[in-house]
Amino acid sequence: MSIFRRPDYSSDTSQFIDQLKAQHPELEARQREGRALLWDKAVDRKAQQEFKAARVAQQPYVYQTQASQG
């Protein structure tokens, strides 16, 4: 070990998270369950292609319902 080596720095936020995980070991499993519920989904590529093909182009001014006559 070098005499010039500094001690490893750990921010207040990192210390808080480490302490929270030590106090609540189930926390990480609950985070993974929440992520699986909202984000980890199987993607249906065929349905995605059909949605993309069926998309209707948006009007330049979205609140105008018909072309103005002038």
The mean pLDDT value for 60-65 works out to: 77
Q: How many CA atoms lie within 13 A of 48 on its CB side?
A: 4
Q: Tell me: the pLDDT tens digits for 29-44?
A: 999 999 988 888 888 9
Would you list the domain boundaries of the chain? Answer: 12-53
Q: Which tokens in the block code for residue 58? A: 């948006």
Residue 69 is classified by DSSP as -
| DSSP notation for 9-66 | P--HHHHHHHHHHHH-TTHHHHHHHHHHHHT-----HHHHHHHHHTPPPPPSSTT--S
pTM (predicted TM-score): 0.47
Q: Tell me: the pLDDT tens digits for 7-21?
A: 888 999 999 999 999
pLDDT at 70 over 60: no
